[in-house]
């Protein structure tokens, strides 16, 4: 930018804007933005040090090159009814007329026109040309402009493709002036007014504000160059409407106005880029919300599973304890009925008492306990399999949803989440499909059997319960041989047998208490260990997905806050410009 008319405050603001925009650009590089978009902002920042830049855009054959030739007063640029402008052409001041082809996409033309000392003009390829390279070049150069001359033709004003392109330019936050070229083909003033009204109405609807509109005839303006007299030349230029456009650029669009556009230009590009990043961030947040919801659902499933196991296990174990309670009650009743004086002879026969105890008291208690434990095992296996089915179903539904919603050009984050969903879902489904309920029950049963055996209460597990208790009773509590041979029946009936019965019942009760405590503790610990292990297995399989989702959610929220901060910096710069412009007037 020419700095001769800038105040010190404005120079400082210009430097601050450049520094802030470069820092914003550095921050935006961390987001999923195209290299072209980032380069557009860099170019716009660099433009702060260059002359005011006007870019002429529009469809091919709208007369962009002819319009610029008319403004220059000389036919420097190639014109035609076909897409003749194959590259971006920068027109700037030079002591002589010259053309330099920089590369296949860019050329520089110089001209000693006084207007070009204040600004540069760019001629761009048509936006709907057959050659899409032309349109790409135009799209890349528009973000660098300070003012856009949007050229449309009077014979087909503001076509649908032009409206679409106008919306694209609007997204960059550019100052747009609409030029209706070829106005000479309209028959009368009324026709011209109708075209202007049509363009004004539609452009205002698209832009949200009424733009400056100039009706011109580049062809008539160029005739002025070859006019035989100065009067005829002035008349032709006035009739062409080119004078009004030039006056707007040179007089109405004064240094102050151009300075404002120059300062706002990179802010508009930055805002466009920031909006793109925010839209992407918001889309990512919306998308990951589904994963956050699923993650919470999966964790809820595990928590419900854990809660159900904790809530239901005591009642399941109580069924085993009830078997032991029944066993103890029968034992106590047996001792009451057996340890009497009338059965003194039987009491002296341990083998008979043991066999009788096993038949009447123990009965099938071992099998009954084993059945309860097996039922408990089946319950746990079914619970485990059911929650795996629930998790697999939830992941499969999310997998299908994710694939349907996957955009053609998915971001790395989206692709990563999809891969995790696929991986975890595949793993879970494979586990469920390979789940052998019978084998799992047998393995858990063996684990329980081993755990019970290790309590040192049973020699062979649950089947030894009755035998153990019967042995304790007959060998330790019911030894009455010596008493019988003594023949002291009265003492025996009144004192010894009641004492021995009491001793036997207490011993039986103590042994049952020990048995109950150790068995229930062992079963409780064993099944708790197994349920914890089941939950841990499930957690370990879904944790890569849930952990990533949680981490990505935090990351996206941080990105959102970063973008909001960048938005604040752009807003601050934009809001400071009016004050800077006021200082330029004093």
pLDDT digits (tens, 9 = 90+) for 340-387: 656 666 666 667 777 777 777 777 777 787 788 888 888 888 888 888
How far, CA to CA in Å, does 58 sit from each of 66, 127, 299? 12, 6, 56
Tell whether 36 is covered by a domain: no
Tell whether 408 is covered by a domain: yes
- 71 CB contacts (<8 Å, ≥6 apart)? 115, 121, 221, 242, 245, 246
Count how many domains the chain has: 2
pLDDT of residue 72: 83
Q: Tell whether 218 and 294 lie within a shared domain.
A: no
Helix (H) or strand (E) holding 19: helix 8-28
Instruction: Using the Cα atoms of residue 83, residue 85, residue 88 and residue 90 in order, give the sign of their dihedral.
Output: negative
Q: From CA 345, how far away is CA 266, in angstroms rounded? A: 114
Sheet of 88-93: strands edge to edge?
A: 98-103, 106-111, 88-93, 119-123, 52-57, 147-153, 175-181, 212-215
Q: From CA 25, how far away is CA 575, in angstroms rounded? A: 20
pLDDT of residue 200: 93
Q: Tell whether 239 and 316 lie within a shared domain.
A: no
Nearest to 452 by CA among 538, 533, 382, 374: 374
Strands 175-181 and 147-153, bridge-based pairing: parallel
Residues linked to residue 537 through DSSP beta bridges, in sequence order: none
Q: From CA 168, how far away is CA 88, in angstroms rounded? A: 18
Residue 344 structure tokens: 């003194």
Contact 277, 563 (CB under 8 A): yes
Tokens 């008291």, located at residue: 361
Tell whether 537 is covered by a domain: yes
Q: Tell whether 58 and 105 lie within a shared domain.
A: yes
Q: Tell whether 153 and 223 lie within a shared domain.
A: yes
- 69 CB contacts (<8 Å, ≥6 apart)? 75, 76, 77, 79, 218, 222
Tell whether 3 is covered by a domain: no
Domain end point (choices 203, 237, 253): 253
Print the domain residue range for 60: 51-253
CATH code, 202: 3.40.50.300
Tell whether 279 is covered by a domain: no
CA angle 239, 242, 244 (to 5 degrees): 95
Strands 88-93 and 119-123, bridge-based pairing: antiparallel
Tell whether 217 is covered by a domain: yes
pLDDT of residue 481: 43
Tell whether 60 is covered by a domain: yes
Q: What is the pTM of this model?
A: 0.64
Q: Tell whether 164 and 310 lie within a shared domain.
A: no
Q: Tell whether 216 and 69 lie within a shared domain.
A: yes
Q: Tell whether 195 and 294 lie within a shared domain.
A: no
Q: Tell whether 237 and 305 lie within a shared domain.
A: no
Domain end point (choices 200, 234, 253): 253
Alpha-helical segments (H) within 348-436: 350-357, 365-405, 412-433
Q: Tell whether 185 and 318 lie within a shared domain.
A: no
Helix (H, G, I), strand (E, B) or coil at 377: helix
Nearest to 170 by CA among 150, 153, 189: 150
Q: Tell whether 149 and 295 lie within a shared domain.
A: no
Q: pLDDT 10s per residue in the chain (586 long)?
A: 344 456 777 778 888 998 999 999 999 998 888 888 888 888 888 888 777 888 888 887 788 888 888 888 888 887 754 555 567 888 888 898 888 888 777 788 888 888 888 888 888 877 665 455 555 556 667 887 888 999 999 888 888 888 888 888 887 778 899 999 999 888 788 888 999 999 999 999 998 899 999 999 888 888 887 777 888 888 888 888 888 988 888 877 777 888 888 888 889 889 989 998 999 899 888 888 888 898 899 889 889 988 988 889 899 889 888 888 888 888 888 778 876 656 666 666 667 777 777 777 777 777 787 788 888 888 888 888 888 888 888 888 887 777 776 555 556 666 666 676 677 667 766 766 665 656 755 665 565 556 555 544 443 334 444 454 455 445 444 444 444 444 444 444 445 667 777 877 787 788 778 778 877 888 888 888 888 888 888 888 888 888 888 888 999 999 999 999 999 999 999 999 888 877 555 4
Q: Tell whether 244 and 313 lie within a shared domain.
A: no
Tell whether 575 is covered by a domain: no
Q: Tell whether 341 and 482 lie within a shared domain.
A: yes
């Amino acid at each position: 930018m020419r700095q001769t008319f800038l105040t010190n405050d404005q120079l400082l603001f210009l430097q601050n804007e450049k520094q802030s925009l470069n820092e914003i650009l550095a921050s935006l590089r961390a987001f999923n933005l195209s290299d072209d978009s980032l380069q557009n902002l860099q170019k716009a920042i660099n433009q702060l040090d260059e002359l005011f830049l006007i870019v002429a855009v529009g469809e091919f054959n709208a007369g962009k090159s002819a319009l610029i030739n008319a403004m220059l007063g000389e036919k420097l640029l190639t014109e035609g009814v076909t897409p003749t402008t194959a590259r971006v052409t920068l027109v700037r001041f030079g002591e002589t007329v010259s053309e330099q082809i920089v590369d296949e996409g860019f050329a520089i033309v110089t001209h000693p026109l006084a207007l070009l000392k204040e600004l540069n003009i760019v001629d761009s390829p048509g936006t709907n040309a057959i050659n899409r390279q032309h349109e790409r070049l135009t799209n890349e150069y528009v973000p660098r402009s300070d003012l856009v001359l949007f050229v449309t033709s009077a014979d087909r004003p503001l076509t649908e493709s032009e409206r679409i392109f106008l919306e694209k330019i609007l997204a960059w936050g550019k100052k747009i002036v609409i030029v209706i070229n070829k106005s000479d083909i309209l028959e009368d003033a009324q026709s011209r007014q109708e075209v202007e009204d049509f363009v004004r109405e539609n452009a205002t609807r698209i832009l949200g504000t009424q733009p400056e509109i100039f009706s011109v005839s580049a062809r008539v303006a160029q005739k002025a160059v070859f006019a035989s007299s100065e009067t005829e030349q002035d008349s032709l230029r006035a009739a062409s409407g080119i004078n009004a456009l030039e006056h707007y650029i040179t007089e109405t669009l004064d240094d102050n106005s151009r300075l404002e556009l120059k300062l706002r230009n990179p802010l508009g590009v930055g805002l466009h880029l920031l909006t793109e990043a925010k839209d992407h961030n918001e889309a990512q947040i919306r998308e990951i919300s589904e994963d956050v919801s699923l993650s919470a659902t999966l964790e809820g499933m595990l928590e419900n599973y854990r809660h159900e196991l904790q809530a239901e296990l005591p009642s399941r174990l109580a069924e085993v304890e009830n078997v032991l309670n029944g066993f103890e009650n029968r034992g106590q009743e047996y001792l009451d009925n057996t340890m009497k004086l009338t059965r003194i002879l039987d009491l002296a026969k341990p083998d008979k008492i043991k066999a009788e105890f096993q038949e009447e008291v123990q009965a099938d208690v071992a099998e009954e306990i084993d059945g309860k434990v097996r039922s408990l095992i089946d319950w746990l296996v079914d619970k485990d399999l059911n929650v795996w089915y629930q998790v697999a179903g939830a992941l499969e539904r999310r997998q299908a949803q994710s694939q349907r919603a996957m955009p053609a050009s998915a971001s790395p984050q989206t692709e990563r989440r999809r891969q995790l969903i696929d991986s975890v879902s595949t793993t879970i489904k494979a586990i469920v499909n390979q789940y052998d309920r019978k084998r799992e029950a047998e393995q858990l049963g063996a684990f329980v059997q081993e755990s019970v055996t290790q309590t040192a209460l049973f020699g062979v597990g649950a089947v030894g319960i009755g035998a153990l208790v019967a042995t304790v009773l007959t060998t330790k509590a019911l030894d009455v041989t010596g008493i019988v041979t003594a023949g002291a029946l009265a003492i025996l009936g009144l004192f010894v047998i009641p004492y021995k019965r009491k001793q036997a019942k207490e011993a039986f009760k103590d042994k049952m208490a020990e048995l109950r405590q150790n068995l229930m503790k062992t079963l409780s610990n064993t099944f708790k260990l197994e349920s914890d292990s089941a939950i841990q297995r499930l957690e370990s399989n879904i944790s890569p997905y849930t952990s990533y989702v949680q981490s990505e959610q935090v990351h996206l929220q941080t990105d959102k806050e970063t973008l909001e901060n960048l938005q604040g910096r752009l807003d601050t710069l934009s809001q400071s410009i009016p004050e800077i412009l006021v200082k330029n007037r004093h």
